[in-house]
Amino acid sequence: MAMTAGGRGGIKSDINVTPLVDVVLVLLIIFMVVTPMLQRGKDVKLPVAAKQKHEEDKGVDPMIISVTPDKRIWLEKDPVTDDQLNVAIDVESNSLAVIVKHMAGNLRSRFTDFLTTDGEKPDRNRDGEFEIAGPVARGAMLADWERSWQVLFGALDALTPADLRREVTIRGERHTIIQALHRQMTHHAYHVGQVVFLAKHLQSAEWKTLSMPRRRT
C-alpha cells in the first residue's frame, strides 16, 4: 500500500497491484507446467460381457419382428383386426382409419413442393380427412399411408445443407426448415400416441406391449 499527500483532502491511500499481477502470472505458469506432469495414465482392462440372459428379460415373451418382401416391418401380427380399424370409442373420437387418413393428408400437404409452396395446400380438404363413408379396407388405408410417407422422404432427400437456412410457410406463418420439421414431428408423435392408445384399448388382454410390460421390471 502506498500513501500520498492529498492536499486539502488530507492523506490518500492506494494499492499498487503490479506486484500482485506478477505473482498471479508466475503461479499460472507454474500450474501450466506442473499439471501435465500430474496426469498419469493407467491401462484399464475392460470386462467382457458374458453371454447370458439379463435379469430384466426373464419371464418376458419375445417380440417377433417380421420384414415382408416389400420391406414393410410388422411387430407380432396385425395389431388390430380389419373391423377394429373403423371403430370409434365414442361420438367425439376418431377411429384408427380416420387418424391414419388425417396423418397421411397432413404429410402430403406439408411436403409436396416443400420449399416452394405453403404447407397448407389449396386443394387440401382437412375436414374431409375426419370423415369416412363406410368401412375402410386395410390395404387401401396402408397404400395411402405409404404414398404420403414417400412424399415426406422425397422432400427430405432433396434438402441440402444450404436449405436448412431457408424458410417455408405453413398457413402463412413463416418457419425455418428446422422449425417446420420439428412441428411435423410433434404433430405426428401426438397422433401416433392416439393410435397406440386405441389399438391397446381394442386389443385389451391380447395387446402385445411395445415396451417393458407392467410387473416385469
99 & 24 share domain = no
184 & 97 share domain = yes
134 & 196 share domain = yes
CA distance 52 to 15: 71
- For residue 145, give the nearest of 79, 192, 80, 194 by alpha carbon: 192
The number of distinct structural domains making up the chain is 2
CA distance 185 to 182: 5
Domain range holding 95? 80-206
pLDDT tens for the chain, residues 1 to 217: 555 555 555 555 556 656 666 666 767 776 666 555 555 555 656 666 555 554 445 554 554 444 455 544 444 455 678 888 899 989 889 999 999 999 999 999 999 999 999 999 999 999 999 998 888 888 888 899 999 999 999 999 999 999 988 999 999 999 999 999 999 999 999 999 998 888 888 888 777 777 777 777 6
Residue 183: which residues within 8 A CB-CB, separation 6 or more?
170, 175
Residue 28 lies in a domain: yes
Residue 213 lies in a domain: no
7 & 98 share domain = no
200 & 136 share domain = yes
100 & 165 share domain = yes
Reported pTM: 0.63
User: What are the distances in angstroms from CA 210 to CA 23, 201, 216?
Assistant: 64, 14, 13
- Expressed in percent and rounded to 5, the helix, strand and coil fractions of the chain are 50, 10, 40
121 & 199 share domain = yes
CATH of the domain at 104: 1.20.120.450
28 & 105 share domain = no
Residue 202 lies in a domain: yes
85 & 155 share domain = yes
Residue 107: which residues within 8 A CB-CB, separation 6 or more?
148, 149, 151, 152, 184
Residue 178: which residues within 8 A CB-CB, separation 6 or more?
164
Lookup: cell for 39: 496426469
